[in-house]
Every structure is written in structure tokens, then in C-alpha cells.
Amino acid sequence: MSQLYSNNVDTTLAEPLSDSATSATLTDGSGLQSPTGGDFELITLSDAGLYEVVKVTARSANVVTIQRAQDGTVAQGWNTGARVFAGVTAGTLERLIQNDSANTGALAIGGATATANNSVSIGSAASASAAGQVVIGRLADSSGSGSLAVGNNAEALAEGAVALGIRAFCDGLYTSIAIGDTAWASDTDAIAIGWSSDAAGVESVAIGMQAATVADHVFVTSALPAVTGSPTAQSTAAWRNSAAGVVITSNVLNLKNAQTYQIPLPAGVTFFPDEVGVLIVAADTVTVQPTVQFGINLSAQEYLDAVATTGLSAAGDRQRFQTLKTAKGTATLRFEVTVGATATTLTGRIYWRGFAVEG
């Protein structure tokens, strides 16, 4: 239900109006809105120093359907020729600050609803339904006390939650935060920042495009830390362009199958591996170890010749290879199982440890 407004409407009654009538005929009603679906417009009747504010809930040509005695005025009879105008009323101004008299300090602007004390809702169909909320954006929704939702379809559904961005979603308790298009923070104190990022563990943090974690107390990032090749000035301190070491992992692979797995790195980045290895996720009855090799796009054994692994027979086992054939950098990481393992189950991740340089 929204209040509608018209500019410079000033007309008269075309017929007398009794103090109980629910419709009025105007000399010219064309300048008024035509409310539907619970929307309304306020007009004022005036004659000889008397005033009555009425609510227009519908209009057909010059005939308006009205609700009498609005904004503290009294319904009374009016003669033909009484003035009718769309003026600013005290109630209209109060509603700009206080959307609902039952909800102190609530503010709703632009077809929004604010149905709790000290809540703010701005935008078409935006909804703030708990105390202290701020909601901005079309279809934005906030239902947790002290929460903030900003952006088209942004949702902050838990106490203290913050959702910023188109379709950002945050229903984790307390200080959970989701920032970015389709960012999703769905557990207590979780933080997700970046397009399609997902933090689904308690106090977990996911930063970067499609960064995701479901584990508690874990930090993940989809960005690649890199030593920059573009310092802004000769005097820039070297540490400002430094980057921590990087560990890059594959998804879970079935090591029983011969296969090739490649990871292309971001354009303009060269990665220099110092160590490569295999991490076992699940294992059962391993009788023959897989044979593996590490390389690059055009050289399958650039870093490590084909070698049979050893000791990979249980979840959590790792084999690392630290003496590589070359220190050469690459823009594409390549791993190959040349001979699959013989086992009931053997799955794992591949990793590369090193550093990246821009340019």
C-alpha cells in the first residue's frame, strides 16, 4: 500500500457531499491519480475556513471513491463549489519519517515496506521487517535485527547480517557478510566476498570469484597472489610488490584412471613451481601405485618424469617431489596419470607449490 501524489490539482465539488458519503463528484478530476490495489491519494476539502482531508482509493473520470476524516480531521457536509485540492498534509510529512505510527522511526521510500521500529527500506518491493534494518534495492529483503541488504534481490536474513550486491545472500547468524553478485554467506560469522563466492562454514572466509568453503574456521581465496610487474614509481618499496608463496590444488581425481589434468593460469601470470605432489583423499586396498608425471601444456614431463608413487595407501597420505627437472615458469600446469592404480578406491588431489609473477 503506497501513497500517490499529484501536482497542482485544484478543483471544486460538482455536487453536494454529505458527512457520510463515500464518493464525491468533482468538477474536474483528471489531474488526480487512479489508485488501485490498496494505494491511495490524499485530497483536502475546504470552504469558509473549514477543512477535511479524505483518502482517494479509486477514481473513475470525475468521481472519486473516498475514505473520510483522515489525518485527524472531521467528516462534515460540503456544498457544491467547495474547494478540492491535492495539498501537502501533516500526515504525509510524518509518514516520510515514520512509515507506520505503530513502528517508531520506520522509513519506506519508492514502493518499499518498513514494518519494524527504526527500519529503513528503499526501492520497489524492498522489505525491512525487523528492528534496526536497512534495505536498499529492488526486491531487497532483510529480516534480521540490525541487518543490512543493499542491491537488487539482496537478502540479509539473520541478525547483524550484511548482504551487498545483486542477489547477495546472507543468512548466517550475527556478523555474517556477503558482498558481490550472488555472494553467499550461510553460517555464523561467515564472510563471502566476490562473484558467486560461498562461505558455508562457521567463521569461514571465501574471497574471490567462485571462492568456496564448507569447512568451519577456514580461509580460502580464488585469487592468485602474484609479484607485480607494474610498480607505480621507482621509489615504491619492494615489499609493496611482493607476494606470499602459492599452493594450487586440483579437484578430487580418481587415481585409478589414466588421465590428463590441466590448469590454465590467469593471463599475464607466470607460475614457478618449487614442489609438486599428490594428496590422498580416500583409499582402500591399494595394491599397485599410480604412475604420474608433471609438466606444462606442450611438454608433459617438463617438471617430473613419469614415476610410480610410493606409500599412498590411506586418506591423508602425501607424496611430494621437491627436486624438479627445471625451474622454468609456466602459464599452464599439467598433471598426468600414465598408469592407473590398482585399488578398490584411490582418490586424491594434485598440488603445485611455488610463486607467481605478473608479466
Q: Which helix (H) or strand (E) holds 94?
A: helix 90-97
Give residue 237's pLDDT. Answer: 61
Give residue 96's pLDDT. Answer: 59
Q: Are 102 and 116 in contact (CB under 8 A)?
A: no
Q: Which three cell numbers stand for residue 130?
A: 525487523
Name residues whose C-beta falls within 8 Å of residue 66's C-beta, 6 or more positions apart in sequence. Answer: 21, 22, 23, 24, 54, 55, 56, 57
157 vs 173: CA distance, rounded Å: 9
**In terms of C-beta density within 10 A (0-12 exposed, 13-18 middle, 19 or more buried), how is residue 128 classed?**
buried
Question: What's the whole-model pTM score?
Answer: 0.63
Name residues whose C-beta falls within 8 Å of residue 197's C-beta, 6 or more positions apart in sequence. Answer: 178, 180, 183, 184, 206, 207, 208, 209, 210, 211, 212, 222
Instruction: Report whether pLDDT(234) > 70.
Output: no
Q: Which helix (H) or strand (E) holds 240?
A: none
Instruction: Report whether pLDDT(207) > 60.
Output: yes
* CATH fold for domain 3-92: Thrombin, subunit H (2.40.10)
| 240 HSE (CA, 13 A, CB side) | 8
pLDDT single digits (tens) 256-281: 999 999 999 988 899 999 999 999 99
342 vs 110: CA distance, rounded Å: 66
Domain boundaries, the chain: 3-92, 246-358
Sign of CA dihedral 194, 198, 200, 201: negative
Chain-wide mean pLDDT for the chain? 89
Choice between 159 and 33, residue whose per-residue pLDDT is larger: 33
333 vs 294: CA distance, rounded Å: 8
pLDDT single digits (tens) 94-147: 665 544 435 566 788 877 888 888 888 888 888 888 888 889 988 888 887 888
Residues facing residue 127 across a β-bridge: 113, 141
**Mean of pLDDT values over 57-80:** 96
Give residue 101's pLDDT. Answer: 39
Q: Cα angle at 45 between 39 and 51, to 5 degrees? A: 115
The number of angstroms, rounded, from the C-alpha of 28 to the middle of its chain's C-alpha atoms is: 48
Give residue 112's pLDDT. Answer: 83
The CATH number that domain 246-358 falls under is 2.60.120
328 vs 136: CA distance, rounded Å: 51
Q: Are 263 and 309 in contact (CB under 8 A)?
A: no
Nearest alpha carbon to residue 295 among 252, 267, 318, 326:
326
Give residue 117's pLDDT. Answer: 81
* Secondary structure (3-state) at 241: helix
197 vs 219: CA distance, rounded Å: 12
Return phi, psi of residue 98, to 5°.
-130, 100
Give residue 20's pLDDT. Answer: 96
pLDDT single digits (tens) 59-69: 999 999 999 99
Residue 244's CB: how many other CB atoms inside 10 A?
8
Q: Which three cell numbers stand for residue 126?
A: 524492498
The percent of residues in the chain predicted with pLDDT above 90, rounded, is: 62
Give residue 17's pLDDT. Answer: 96
359 vs 81: CA distance, rounded Å: 81
Instruction: Report whether pLDDT(246) > 70.
Output: yes
**Mean of pLDDT values over 221-245:** 70
Report, in this order, helix, strand and coil percent for the chain, each rounded to 5.
Answer: 5, 45, 50
* Secondary structure (3-state) at 131: coil
Cα–Cα distance list, 112 to 167, 168, 292, 311 (Å): 17, 19, 60, 63
Q: Which long-range contacts (CB under 8 A, 24 or more apart) does 75-79 make?
A: 75/19, 75/20, 76/19, 76/50, 76/52, 77/16, 77/17, 77/18, 77/19, 78/13, 78/16, 78/17, 78/45, 78/47, 78/52, 79/13, 79/16, 79/47
